[in-house]
Structure 1
Amino acid sequence: MVDARVLAEEAERWLGDPELPANTVSFARALELDEREELPADGVRRLRAFGFHRYFVPAAHGGALRSCEELLWLSRVVARRNMSVAVSESTQLWMMLVWIGGDAAQRARALPPLLRGEVVPCLAYSEPGHGADLAANEFLALPEGGEYVMNGSKWPINRGASSTHVVLLGATRADAAPDDVSARRRQSLFLVEKAAVASGRVEGMPRVPTYGLRGCDISGVSFEEARVPASARLGAEGEGLELALRGLLVTRTFCTGLSLGAGDTMLRTVGGFLSRRVLYEGPASRIPYVAESLANAYLSLLVAECVSLVAMRGLHLYTEEFSIWANLAKVEVARLVDHNGKVLARTLGARYYMREAEHQGVFQKMLRDAAIVSVFDGSEPVCLDSVALQLSSMVKARRRPREEDWSALYDLRAALPEFEPARVAVFGRGRDATFASLPALCERLAALAPSPGCGEERLAALRSLAERLRADVEALFTRVAEARRRPAGRAPHPAAAPGETAATATAAPAAAAPATATATAAAATTKTTSTRLIRLAEECCALHAKVAALGIWLYNRDHLDAFFAEGGWLQAALAREQVHTYELGELDEEIAARLCARLQAQHEAGEFFSLRPVRQAAPGAREESGIRQGPPGGPHLP
């Protein structure tokens, strides 16, 4: 069984202490590049020397990725230091589309340069006039003489100008207008190597100044009469939107690692500063208001980790069910971390507002940078819209209870099958393993015997909260059924193309607002998902997170430490009305004290804020030199 934490600790040693300015991926360097709005090229090269790029290729295809949790932890390791580096290099994940939709020849062609670290891909889906409404895209990739002739622009995208390869959507039929009912079958997906374009022009567009990620290449790419070989097309002609959505389901899930990394540094920065700051004759962290804020922020990170871990395991075990799952995980983890950022900024006080070249500046950068996760790879409204449009299918799927052994999903020691990205489906028919496991989790909880730290009183509280959770889930789907019966709750969709269901047709990202100056508020729109359903989708995300936390606790309490096994943290999480938000005075004082003690202990031990011990780089540790020879347990695969 692969233990991703071993890889995380090796990456920590490789990159060294981010507090040491001389290290390539240090806080000081991150702030310096941010001020200059400069791409962190040295940081990216540092990751390539470690072999980071090899973990974007599943081991079954010749890469180093054996467990999706490995990539989750690697993302956390890098993102906690510099989100600009993490986001710049994470575009490698788009090459996953080769394993999803490519044929054997395309995979064989892509693999060698990928493993050599010679590929810098960008995702070119969005266009200036259409935003998230991919079906309305106007970029043309018309077949001609065994090639495709490409014309149009993609913007704004990450790595648009500095990429070597472009993964793009283009219309391969010019006879259907973008708003035609057949628009979904006019788009195809391409992997274009810029240097291999036979004729015409491919150019990067100017960088866009951004609120966060100031060192990233957020720009665009334009094509003019650019000819590419037919072998650049991934999948069948007209299959582009479906492949695009399948790829997004994978990347949305992995986005959670970026949030966890940024969230760790925000809490570590604020908690460390306030524990050293003396106010009212004692550490500021001991002030009740501050202590409870820090405890709640720590709890939110633990819940976010539960959501991420269960999702990563689900990618191996329930790959076909991610049309809903990926959106639920991305939305809730980003919400947990984003709300933490707001609370921590308020707790930090005036120092949050000062731009100083010390830890407060690091906090500000992380606060700005972490905000991107809820925006890219499908913004929060887009993800919620996708969930909302599949809620009725979830109601139908729930009529067929599932009797399964859920241990592989929740037991962090359980072996996992190989990750097969090609199995990701654009529509999972409403199935969701996490919600389906809830009855069995409640039964397992009911059978637990009291243990040290988790006596009858704690067990009774947990059982009551778990039953309330089950009732909330049932109530949610009852309201979904009612909302779908009301005319105001219906989201009329265009007729599905042949072979599509209404759900697959509408799983595409939501339409952007009209971009023309002549558009009016009264203009018609095909995106009519009711706000009632969007609200239900939000509740679905929060309840899903609680079930994930319950499952992780039940299947791991016998082998993790006393803090985890006691279950006070779980009790506090299940007691929250909305799991990502919290108010002062709601947290039990005893549980708050245990959370603060655990937070301080992991901080002093140099560990990630995590349910399990994972060591960060030692204080003052210099980065390792040279080229890393291979992952733990053996050399890289060829």
Structure 2
Amino acid sequence: MTDLQALMADLERHMGDPFDDEGPLPFSRVLALDERETYPDEFVDLLASWGLYDWSIPVESGGRAVDIQDGFNLYRLVARRDPTTATAMVISTISFMPLWVAGTPEQRKHFADLIRSGSKLAWGLSEREHGSDILANATTARRTEGGWLLDGEKWTIGNATVADVVMVFARTSEKGGPGGYSIFAVEKGLLAEGRCEPLPHEPLHGLRGLDMSGVRLRDCFVPESAVVGKVGQGLEVALKSSHLVRIAITSIAMSCADTALRATLDFATRRMIFGAPVSEVPYSQRQLVESYADLLVADALTTGAIRSLQLTPEQSSIWSSVVKYFVPTLLQETLARLAIVLGARHYLRTHPRYGVFQKAVRDCAVADFADGNTVVNLKNIALQLGNLLDTAVTQDPGKVAGAVERTRALFDPAHPMKPYRPAEQQLFSRGVDDPVLALRSAVDDLHQAAAAATGTDAARLAAAADAAGSLADELDRIAAEHRKLFSDLGKSAGQSAELYDLAKQYTYVSAAAAVVHLHLHGHDSVHPELRSPAVLLVCLERLLKRFHPTVSVAGPREIAEVADALTAAHREGRLFSFRSFSVNW
């Protein structure tokens, strides 16, 4: 198993001090490139020379990726410094995913070598007229002697112009449909002139330096060897590729919130108002603590999600959509809250200390819509919701026992995992979501822990158990509303706004389950200060308020303790995470 703490510390050293203008990757140059809308070649090269790409390429293809949680957390460090650079590099790694899912060993090795030697990849999935409706895509691939001819346009494709290779999703059957699409690896350098032309660059609100453009293909010949997987397997490969991609993208949102919280905390601890620092004003202190708790909730949820891809790949479809909906949505609210604490300074664009805040706010939005927007992910949850709720509410003893056992491994970051095999991921979870199914058992464990504890810890654990129990009880209500909805509306309930709202509520329970399971099973990996029941209680309150906005279960003492933990993490240079990862700021 990788010594992830040492690895991340080494990457952080490689990036240098973010406030040293002469350093390798300082905020001053990040902001300057953003202002000029310039692609961050120098930063991409800097990180590629360190070997960042290796942690997203399988070992058998020449990389170092065994546990994909390693690459996920490394990119969190990069995105804290510059989400544009992180996104530019992530695009190449997610474009490799179809190859990892269905490519031949020779294909994987060939394109992995290209990435590791400095070539860039792009994932040509979306089209101007069809967006997320990929089964309406109009780009075609027609058989010809020795290969295929591709025709069509791919639009708003990250890296499309700078990329050396574009993975193209194209229709290979006239009737289309689920079996009518295939994926092709299009190497630009091997094409006849004029067959693959770049579309104009699209200026962006955030990630201003990113290459966001597209390609126009005209009778573009590619050999038979360019087909990734089987002909007609394109939809399955694309969907399986999306599971890791959707979870990985949330790391950018978490990093944006981390940077924004640090900038706000710097201000709040130094700015005096009414004779005291802003951070000690009770209302502002609570805003900071709630923002920290939001990040910890996201950290807990993504810890289980990224590990599920290896430990429970048959459940990856529900995990990826829950995380992709919940984390960006939650952290957009977090950023808005922090902007209130920071005040007018959050609006400064080039300030050496606060300019990164507004960049983080703009850049974070990409996590909402990249590779499956909010509606797409809620739809996927909604399609599976009835079966998930039936299993969670029924609490079959055999299924619960299996879920409890698997959940222990999911939320113990030190538990070994088999190598990642994305082809094993399933497109539907078949009604099982282990952490949610095991939540009631975890509530019992909290009650037992409370009975064994003494003093303040006992009271806090008992309150946490009650809060977690209340959140678990929401499943019964959601299930009843789900049954009534389909009873009232019949098949049309499947497209109703009410069903999507129930899907949202399911994600809140899922996040609560993650927080509880990490507290119970990740003890040895969690930083000592964050093992406190006060932290658990504050995190659960954040989720309980999703259902009951006026309910409070954490009092001033718990808020003060978590505020101290937040201040200590920033002062000691630790990532805002349950685990202890060193950072320069």
| TM bracket (short chain) | over 0.9
2-structure distance, mates of 1:40, 1:452: 54
- What's the counterpart of residue 549 of structure 1? 515
In 2, Cα distance between equivalents of 1:56 and 1:614: 19
Tell whether the 8 Å contact from 2:182 to 2:231 is kept in structure 1 after alignment: yes
Change (3 A) 1:104 1:486: farther
**Does the aligned pair in 1 maintain the 2:544–2:551 contact within 8 Å?**
no
Equivalent residue for 2:563? 596
Offset at residue 234 of structure 1 (A): 1.2
Matched with 1:516 is: none
Match of 1:144 in 2: 144
| Structure 1 residues 261 and 461: alpha-carbon distance in aligned structure 2, compared to 1, 3 A threshold | same
* Residue of 234, 238, 243 corresponding to 2:237: 243
Does the CA contact (< 8 Å) of 1:328 and 1:387 recur in 2? Answer: yes
Instruction: Name the residue aligned to 1:342.
Output: 336
SS of residue paired to 2:178: helix
Match of 1:403 among 379, 401, 404: 401
The aligned residue for residue 107 of structure 1 is 108
2:38 paired residue number:
38
Go from structure 1 to structure 2 and tell me whether the alpha carbon gap of 1:573 and 1:392 turns closer, same or farther (over 3 Å shift): same
Q: Which has the higher contact order (CA 8 A, sep 6+)?
A: 1
Report deviation, 1:111.
3.3
Of 117-126 and 27-36, the range deviating more from structure 2: 117-126
Q: Equivalent residue for 1:299?
A: 293
User: Which of 605, 626, 632 pairs up with 2:572?
Assistant: 605
Would you say how many aligned residue pairs link Structure 1 and Structure 2? 575
Equivalent in the alignment of 1:130: 130
Q: 1:82 to 1:477 in 2, by over 3 A?
A: same
User: What's the counterpart of residue 624 of structure 1?
Assistant: none
Q: Is the 8 A contact 1:392 1:484 kept in 2?
A: no
After superposition, what is the alpha-carbon deviation per residue over 1:596-636, rounded to whole angstroms, capped at 9, x for unaligned? 1111111111111122221113x7xxxxxxxxxxxxxxxxx
Which amino acid counterpart does residue 24 of structure 2 have in structure 1? T
Please give the alpha-carbon distance, in whole angstroms, between the structure 2 residues aligned to 1:169 and 1:271.
Answer: 45
Offset at residue 101 of structure 1 (A) = 1.2
- Do the aligned partners of residues 169 and 300 (structure 1) sit closer, same or farther apart at CA in structure 2, a change above 3 Å counting? same
Following the alignment from structure 1 to structure 2, what is the Cα–Cα distance between the partners of residues 322 and 559?
23
2:54 paired residue number: 54
C-alpha separation in 1, matches of 2:153 and 2:128: 8
Matching residue of 1:625: none
> Structure 1 counterpart of 2:354, which letter?
Q
1:492-511 aligned within 5 A: none
Distance 1:37 1:108, change over 3 A: closer
Sort the Cα spacing of 1:83 and 1:559 in 2 relative to 1 into closer, same or farther, 3 A: closer
SS at match of 1:128: coil
Worse-matched range after superposition: 285-294 or 208-217 = 285-294
1:470 counterpart residue number: 472
Determine helix, strand or coil for the equivalent of 1:150.
Answer: strand
Cα distance, 1:94 vs structure 2? 2.0
Given that residues 349 and 359 in structure 2 are in contact (C-alpha distance below 8 angstroms), is that contact kept between their aligned partners in structure 1?
A: no
Paired AA for residue 378 in structure 1: G
Asked if 1:308 corresponds to 2:302, the answer is yes
Change (3 A) 1:351 1:83: same
Whether contact under 8 Å (1:285, 1:291) holds in the other structure is: yes
Is structure 2 residue 221 aligned with structure 1 residue 231? no
Q: Return the match for 1:256 from 238, 247, 250.
A: 250
Checking the alignment, whether the CA contact within 8 Å between 1:202 and 1:221 is kept in structure 2 is yes
**How many angstroms apart in 2 are the aligned matches of 1:306 and 1:233?**
38
* SS of equivalent residue, structure 2 residue 184: strand
CA contact (8 A) 2:440 2:469 kept: no
Deviation at 1:551?
Answer: 0.1
1:270 partnered with 2:258: no
Please give the alpha-carbon distance, in whole angstroms, between the structure 2 residues aligned to 1:39 and 1:580: 39
Equivalent residue number for residue 487 of structure 2 = 485
Alpha-carbon distance in 2 for matches of 1:199, 1:161 = 15
Q: 1:97 to 1:278 in 2, by over 3 A?
A: same
Partner of 1:385: 379
Q: Do the aligned partners of 2:94 and 2:241 also contact (CA within 8 Å) in 1?
A: no
2:532 is aligned to 566
Native 8 Å contact 1:489 1:532 kept in 2: no
Give 5+ residue unaligned stretches, structure 2: none
Looking at secondary structure, tell me which structure has more helix per residue.
Answer: 2
Pairing of 1:304-383 with structure 2 (within 5 A): 304-383=298-377
Aligned to 1:81: 81
Name 1:419's counterpart in structure 2.
420
Q: Which moved more, 1:54-63 or 1:600-609?
A: 54-63
What percent of counterpart residues are identical?
A: 30
Deviates more, 1:382-391 or 1:587-596: 587-596
Displacement of 1:206 after TM fit? 1.3
Please tell me whether the aligned partners of residues 315 and 433 of structure 2 are also in contact (alpha carbons under 8 angstroms).
Answer: yes
1:473-532 Cα distance to aligned partner (Å, 9 max, x none)? 23223322332333266356xxxxxxxxxxxxxxxxxxxxxxxxxxxxxxxxxxxx2101
Deviations, residues 565-624 of structure 1 (Å, cap 9, x unaligned): 32112112223355679979955211111111111111111111122221113x7xxxxx
Is this contact kept in 1: 2:44–2:89, CA < 8 A?
yes
SS at match of 2:185: strand
Distance 1:471 1:131 in 2: 38
Say if 1:434 and 1:216 are closer, same or farther in 2 by CA, change over 3 A: same
Letter in 1 for 2:277: P
- Give yes or no for contact 2:181–2:233 (8 Å, CA) kept in 1: yes
Mean CA deviation greater in 566-575 or 541-550 = 566-575
Q: CA deviation at 1:542?
A: 1.1
The answer to whether residue 535 in structure 2 is matched with residue 535 in structure 1 is: no
Q: Is the 8 A contact 1:26 1:82 kept in 2?
A: no
Distance in 1, Cα, partners of 2:184 & 2:360: 34
Give 3-state SS (helix, strand or coil) of 2:286's partner. Answer: helix
Rounded to whole Å, the distance in 2 between the matches of 1:68 and 1:579 is 33
Measured in 2, the distance between the counterparts of 1:43 and 1:94 equals 20
Q: What TM-score results when the alignment is normalised by the length of structure 1?
A: 0.86
- 2:563 aligned partner, one-letter code: C
CA distance in 2: counterparts of 1:354 and 1:16, whole angstroms: 24
Match of 1:201 in 2: 195
Q: Gapped runs of 5+ residues in structure 1?
A: 177-181, 493-528, 620-638
Select 1:576's aligned residue among 542, 549, 554: 542
**Separation of aligned partners in 2, 1:326 and 1:534:** 16
Which residue identity is paired with 1:367? V
Matched, 1:290 2:301: no
CA distance in 1, matches of 2:472, 2:66: 34
Could you tell me which amino acid in structure 2 is paired with residue 213 of structure 1?
A: L
**How many Å apart are 1:148 and its aligned residue?**
0.9
Aligned with 1:455 (options 454, 457, 465):
457
Distance, in Å, in 1 between the alignment partners of 2:540 and 2:356 is: 32
Q: How far apart, in 2, do the equivalents of 1:582 and 1:487 lie?
A: 27
Write the distance in 1 (CA, Å) between the matches of 2:319 and 2:119.
Answer: 29
- 1:349-375 residue CA offsets vs partner (Å, 9 max, x unmatched): 111223342222110000000111011
8 Å contact from structure 1 (residues 296, 582) kept in 2: no
